[in-house]
Amino acid sequence: MKYLIRTVVLTALLGGLLFTGAQPATTQAGTAELVFTTPCPTPACPISPPTNPCPYLPSPPPADEVWFMSGLEVRNVSNLYGVQFTIRFDPTILQVMDTDSDTPGVQIQIPKGTYFEGRDHFIANNEVDNAQGIIRVAVSLYAPATPINGNAVLGFIIWKYVGTGVSNVSWGNKVETKLVDSNGANIDYTPKDTTLGCPAPPSYTGKVLLQGRANYKDTLVILAMEPCLPSFPNNLRIQSSAQNIIPDMPYAFTNTSGEFSITPYTQQEGNYRCLLVFQHGYLTGQKDIPRGGATNRYAGEITLLGGDVNEDDVINIFDLVKISYHMGAGRYNSVADINSDGRVDISDLTIAANNFGLRGPQSNWQNSGF
């Protein structure tokens, strides 16, 4: 209701031109621009909380969050009286922080710090849809306020980084985003869009084959910040499904060809030290990552050896006994089914017996780029 009342009043103020379906008869020609500015420098890549938070922020962000500001500025304009704009962004990378706790929803910062502060103005709309990535604003001066000439700040957006990558931040088309003079005529302008964020780091790729199988799907590959160790970490050995993965570690599952691709988290780029590989019933694998990250990120190919059905990273008599037990009728066990053909039989026992005495983690990658 509050927006309906505001819209009715503002329609009267602008002679029914700005928010009704009517189109002005004339459009000013000119060199006006709509631009995004940075009152404070945006965080450097990789994104991490800045050491000196922006002094213009209304409140300090939590220690583990990254906030920054964009100014919304019009330049080289003449006789500007009303503005309506729609800004779009990627909500998986950016979110807008609310600047008006007294009003329901999320709003950008108007009028504080803008041209409108201390001048007669009316805000018809100021709302943010963080789910869809849309900002909608409509504001007009009203008499006796004088028009805007030259350059002016129209608002501020406080952003929070929530994801990895780069978001386009764009002004809407010229139906959604309009500059209007004191007579209700459209003022022509050039929109200057921008991008915010950091490009995702290059992915680590490679291939993991499984002895005895033709389908190499669902082997778990993890990027860890700890150096590779002589034994596979026990807390990771049991992880076999996405919902159980330790949340601060990037991971991937291989496809049917055994290929994987893992994108490091931007904030930790350069800190990963070990590539860990796990598949039930097989010895584990690992690969050292150079300090600071690798330039060529192809890990190469590795074939995991089968038979470790009790998953202690060594193939011994206990594994042979367990496979033999599950060869019995009604005792099928998917881990003991090394070659994954739907039954536990002599083929699985032979794979394990041929690898008797071997230990993991394996590190014999072929054709590696690092």
* pLDDT tens digits for range 242-299: 445 566 788 999 999 999 999 887 667 778 999 999 999 999 999 999 987 777 899 9
User: Given this chain, do its domains 2-198 and 204-354 carry the same CATH topology?
Assistant: yes
Q: Is the sign of the CA dihedral 302, 314, 352, 282 positive or negative? A: negative
Which has more pLDDT, 4 or 291?
291
Flag whether pLDDT at 22 surpasses 60. Answer: no
Which candidate, 209, 354, 217, 222, places its Cα nearest to that of 286? 222
pLDDT of residue 259: 98
Least confident of 90-94, 231-235, 290-294: 231-235
Q: Which of 153-162, 293-302, 361-370 has the lowest mean pLDDT?
A: 293-302
204-354 folds as Immunoglobulin-like (2.60.40)
- In contact, 311 and 171? CB cutoff 8 Å: no
Confidence label for 21 from pLDDT (cuts 50, 70 and 90)? very low
Handedness of CA 323, 325, 327, 333 (dihedral sign): negative
Domain map of the chain by residue range? 2-198, 204-354
Give the pLDDT of residue 247: 61
**CB proximity list for 291: less than 8 A, separation 6 or greater:** 273
Indicate the CATH number for domain 2-198: 2.60.40.680
The pLDDT value given to residue 310: 92
